[in-house]
Amino acid sequence: MLVGILASIMGVGGGFIMVPAMIYLLRVPTNVVIGTSLFQIMFVTMFTTIAQSATNQTVDIVLALILMVGGVIGAQFGARAGQKLRGEQLRALLALIVLAVCIRLGWDLVSMPTELFSIAAGGGH
């Protein structure tokens, strides 16, 4: 429940908080945590996809194809990187990603948007 509250407040996925919690609070080995997080994400994604398609009575085939291709390619790169890197290196990469997200969230809090009342993504061009 705490992970869900923090994830919704910060606007990040639950795995972003669960992975460090499992590594540092529960002392689960890094390689096990990665698989556990991916397994959990699979169920969240399936539920969200089914709920979205039931609500809208449609499925975006192009988006689904892009996500599947990207997921397969990303999984291959991630599996190779996980085999070549030690647990400490994986934790250091996670720490860098967490810091980058924190910096980005902090920047978004203090920076003035280019258009105050725009709903367009990516600068509104």
What confidence score (pLDDT) does residue 17 get? 76
Closest CA to 99 of 20, 22, 32, 6: 20
Closest CA to 25 of 57, 3, 43: 3
What confidence score (pLDDT) does residue 22 get? 85
The domain ranges of the chain are 2-110
What confidence score (pLDDT) does residue 69 get? 92
Other residues' Cβ atoms within 10 Å of the Cβ of residue 33: 22
Residue 33 contacts residue 90 (beta carbons within 8 Å) = no
Q: What does pLDDT average to in each consecutive run of 10 residues of the chain (125 residues)? A: 71 72 85 80 83 87 88 85 81 84 85 74 54
124 Rama sector, left if φ>0, alpha if ψ -120 to 50, beta otherwise: left
What confidence score (pLDDT) does residue 79 get? 79
What confidence score (pLDDT) does residue 73 get? 92
Residue 118 contacts residue 124 (beta carbons within 8 Å) = yes
What confidence score (pLDDT) does residue 46 get? 85
Residues 23 and 42: their CA atoms lie apart, in Å, by 20
